[in-house]
């Protein structure tokens, strides 16, 4: 099978944008300068993703564990989210990008919640690239909230225990309507999932790069996509079975 036809199998990319702090430190800049540079990188990659007609990108902007960072950095990140949403949302809308936030937004300031709600509403009928932003999200939190929702359905007799299967659980998760990620990219050199899309990455191809997020450009993204195109996705089957269906 040609690499180009494999790229068409790439619909959903999940990204951990790591390395902003180290990028700033190496330039003797405050950490927030790294996060600002990170926003620029994200904007460039969104433009590139629109160009190559990717279906969905899901980025980890703020985990539930990130609240443990110094309060000053948390405050700066929250302000950056508000200002980035204000400055980018019109262009995203013009590019037919649909914004969708996953995670518990109820703990954010009223101003940030308003910005999130407005950006989702403005872009709700777009049908181009879907940009999911995970904010105050973690994979385990998502599984717990799905469990609560299923338990309530059982308690109210709208579902029985026997009805609960993988599809039911998937449909209760934050990314329910999306296909599972095909490709996961983590920049910044660490090789872990960090409580990201735990359920959804069961068969995702995992790509790790030393490149710090602010330096991760369209060319690097294409390298990751090219790596993905060479992977044989077996989903539990043998290579021979996969090759037989491809010929
Ligand atoms: C991890 O790098 C990065 C973050 C915790 C924040 C990522 C957020 C953005 C790039 C902004 C996105 C904006 C919107 C509106 C979606 P790190 O600080 O852990 O870097 P380090 O490991 O080098 O310290």
- Asked if residue 26 is part of any domain, the answer here is yes
Number of domain units in the chain: 1
- The verdict on residue 190 lying in a domain is yes
pLDDT, tens digit, for every residue of 155-211? Answer: 999 999 999 999 999 999 999 989 999 999 999 999 999 999 999 999 999 999 999
In a domain, 57, yes or no: yes
With a 6 Å cutoff on the Cβ, whether 137 touches ligand 1 is no
Asked whether residue 165 is assigned to any structural domain, the reply reads no
Task: Clarify whether 247 is annotated catalytic.
Answer: no
The span from the CA of 62 to the CA of 67, in Å, is 8
Q: Is the CB of 100 under 6 A from ligand 1?
A: no
244 φ, ψ (degrees, to nearest 5): -60, -40
Asked, for residue 94, whether it belongs to a domain, the answer is: yes
Domain residues for the domain of 214 are 3-137+180-232
Instruction: Identify whether 125 is part of a domain.
Output: yes
Closest CA to 1 of 222, 181, 204, 229: 229
Q: Show the tokens assigned to 139.
A: 């994979």
Asked, for residue 153, whether it belongs to a domain, the answer is no
pTM of the model: 0.93
User: Does the residue 237 lie in any domain?
Assistant: no
CATH number at residue 52: 3.40.1180.10
Residue 45, CA distances (Å) to 15, 57, 98, 183, 203 in order: 11, 10, 15, 15, 24
């Amino acid at each position: 099978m040609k690499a180009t036809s494999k790229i068409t199998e790439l619909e959903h990319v999940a990204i951990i944008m790591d390395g902003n702090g180290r990028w700033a430190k190496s330039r003797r800049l405050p950490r927030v300068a790294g996060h600002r540079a990170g926003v620029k990188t994200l904007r460039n990659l969104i433009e590139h993703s629109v160009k190559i007609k990717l279906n969905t990108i899901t980025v980890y902007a703020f985990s539930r564990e990130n609240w443990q960072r110094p309060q000053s950095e948390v405050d700066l990140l929250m302000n950056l989210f508000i200002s980035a949403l204000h400055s980018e949302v019109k262009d995203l809308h013009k590019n037919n990008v649909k914004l969708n936030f996953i995670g518990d937004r109820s703990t954010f300031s009223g101003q940030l919640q308003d910005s999130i709600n407005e950006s989702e509403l403005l872009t709700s009928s777009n049908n181009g690239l879907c940009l999911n932003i995970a904010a105050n999200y973690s994979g385990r939190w998502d599984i717990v909230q799905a469990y609560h929702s299923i338990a309530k359905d059982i308690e109210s007799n709208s579902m029985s225990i026997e009805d609960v299967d993988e599809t039911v659980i998937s449909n209760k998760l934050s990314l329910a309507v999306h296909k599972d990620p095909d490709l996961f990219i983590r920049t910044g050199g660490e090789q872990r999932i960090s409580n990201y899309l735990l359920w959804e990455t069961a068969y995702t191809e995992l790509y790790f790069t030393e490149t710090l997020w602010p330096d991760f450009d369209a060319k690097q993204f294409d390298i990751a996509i090219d790596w993905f195109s060479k992977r044989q996705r077996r989903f539990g089957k043998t290579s021979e079975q996969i090759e037989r269906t491809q010929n």
